[in-house]
Structure 1
Amino acid sequence: MRYEALHPDVLMFVGDDHESVATAFLDGDEVLLVDALGSLEDAAWMHDVLCRQMGKTVRLIVATHYMGDHIAGLSLFPEALVIAHRLHRHGFLSQNRRDDALYRAPRVQFDTAMRLRWGRHDLVLHHNPGKTVDHLCIDVPTADLACAGDNIVGNIVYLSKADPAMIRGAIARIRQLGRGTIIGGHMGCFPARVLDHATHYLDRLQDTVIRIRAAFPPAEAQARIGAIAIETCLAPQVEPMAFEREWHQRNLEVIVAQSTFEFDAALAAREARA
């Protein structure tokens, strides 16, 4: 577990569980959190740092999306007002492994956008569906950063049950903000080029899967898809981190199990025949 100051009044926490990220915006002795880490143990550590060591009180928690590896600590900050998208239940119920004990209903729900002033910072909460339909992007122009949630995972993406086209669109909308620093839902923060890297990965992975499906019978295609190396999908000069390798392998499992990109392969074949 670690934390670092991105600005004197902006702290980023990275937990051990899934390397989930939470971002703390400070206004004197009061804190606005974006996300609440991936386990109760990690959240207790963050609570200790913020509340006991620093003497702060968490007043608001904004959830980028309502999955357990980002809302685990909600119960540890009972005085905090929780804000989420109105479709947050859809995100919560879409998890592969749901822990109902982590659920705490948000007091404030919204649809399209919300603007908050916290200390010297303006935070603009945009609905940005991609990895989940309830996803938010938190744009902080006063700190030249944006919180992307799980629409990126480092220099790659994680498909899970999402429509890849929605993830691609979500990344494009974050890119349009023009922020210099992007905080992911996992691993930490990155320069803005991480958005291009994630899109490159998604495009290369999709193209590779479509070519394999077109060239080989189903059983052999599945075996070849399961053996796609992450290096063949990464942007030039990007070296994969261990976390990215792990989630790339999960992507391959998802693609085989859920026939991901099969529809795109069918469309490509139809266009080729036209």
Structure 2
Amino acid sequence: MAPCEPRAWAMRMEELAEQVWMFVGEAYESVATAFIDGDDALLVDTLASTEDALRLRQALCEQRGKSVRAIVATHYMSDHLAGLPLFPQALSIAQRHYRHTFLYQNRREDAYYREPRLVFDQAMTLRWGAHELRLLHNPGKTLDHVSVDVPGADLVCAGDNIVGRIVYLSRADPMALRAAILRLRELGRGRVIGGHMGCFPAAVLEQALHYLDRLRETVVRIRATSVPTQADERITAIPIEACLAPQVQPLAFEREWHGRNLEAIVAQSVFALDAAIAAREAGA
């Protein structure tokens, strides 16, 4: 299943499996996934803007007659929490480090914040309709990241541990992010729902790893062969095509977030430690 190209936006909805619906909003192409049990729905994430969340509520509750009874947060960043205020009676579920993530994000929207009513540490499992949902703590992009493994539907909700066929590095430890993707790969699911853009074939995990590794190698090489001011200029000019896996053509959203990666690498000295280690080993 390939991601859809950007187009004129309404709410994009797609049925992924029996009683599993995916919604993609306009703001940041943020994703929410609904699991259905009769007239009850469990949401994994709730989109990035109030407008998108209202469209989700209309499509799921008003048009299809479902009641949102539970909400699982893959991570507590505002661009996935906009629907929390719209479903005040729903049981909200998050990993124990949710507050750390909310406080240290780049663009915090306090109006979306609600304390989760159920908090867990490493893992929990619940049955919802036809599917068993396995909530697994998988820190990578954030300390509180949760993967939602759904074996019966052959899919896993990855949150922001991938962004399309790339990753987003800001405020993340790249090696923790890499480890999180490897843990997702070990689950062996055929489809991966990202926190943005939509649902992808399992190959997206290898593609994201390829991007991360090539970007790291390129930045380390630049830092090793340039003075700092020249290094920053060369880093901000790295084309996304130099980092993508073979046969992958960048979509507009991926190109935009690659640019944000380059800005973050310069501003936050991402991969500077890797470059220092590489220089030390070369001189040993």
Q: How high is the TM-score relative to the length of structure 2? A: 0.96
Identity %: 68
| 1:144 is the counterpart of 2:154 | yes
| 1:159 is the counterpart of 2:155 | no
| Corresponding residue SS for 1:147 | strand
| Corresponding residue SS for 1:134 | coil
| 1:36 is the counterpart of 2:46 | yes
Q: CA deviation at 1:8?
A: 3.0
1:99 maps to 109
2:23 maps to 13
| 1:224 is the counterpart of 2:226 | no
Choose from 33, 47, 60 the match for 1:23.
33
1:169-223 superposed Cα distances (whole Å, 9 cap, x missing partner)? 0000000000000000000000000000000000000000000000111111100
2:219 maps to 209
2:127, 2:226 → 1: CA distance?
55
| Corresponding residue SS for 2:229 | helix
Equivalent AA in structure 2 for residue 87 of structure 1? H
Choose from 44, 54, 77 the match for 2:87.
77
1:116-135 superposed Cα distances (whole Å, 9 cap, x missing partner)? 00011000000000000000
| 1:172 is the counterpart of 2:182 | yes
Equivalent AA in structure 2 for residue 176 of structure 1? E
| 1:50 is the counterpart of 2:60 | yes
1:120 maps to 130
Q: CA deviation at 1:34?
A: 0.2
2:273 maps to 263
Q: CA RMSD in A?
A: 0.5
1:55, 1:73 → 2: CA distance?
17
Structure 2: state its 5+ residue gaps: 1-10
2:214, 2:202 → 1: CA distance?
20
Compare relative contact order (CA 8 Å, sep 6+) and give the higher one, 1 or 2: 2
1:185 maps to 195
2:12, 2:119 → 1: CA distance?
30
Equivalent AA in structure 1 for residue 102 of structure 2? F
2:221, 2:62 → 1: CA distance?
55
Structure 1: state its 5+ residue gaps: none
Equivalent AA in structure 2 for residue 186 of structure 1? H
| Corresponding residue SS for 1:146 | strand
Q: CA deviation at 1:94?
A: 1.2
Equivalent AA in structure 2 for residue 35 of structure 1? D
2:13 maps to 3
| Corresponding residue SS for 1:169 | helix
1:89 maps to 99
**May I ask how many residue pairs the two structures share in their alignment?**
274
1:8, 1:71 → 2: CA distance?
25
| Corresponding residue SS for 2:68 | strand
1:35, 1:172 → 2: CA distance?
22
Displaced runs of 4+ in structure 1, greater than 4 A?
none
1:68, 1:98 → 2: CA distance?
6
| 1:254 is the counterpart of 2:264 | yes
Equivalent AA in structure 1 for residue 281 of structure 2? E
Q: CA deviation at 1:7?
A: 1.3
1:143, 1:94 → 2: CA distance?
33
1:183, 1:209 → 2: CA distance?
29
Choose from 223, 244, 255 the match for 1:234.
244
1:202, 1:76 → 2: CA distance?
36
| Corresponding residue SS for 1:84 | strand
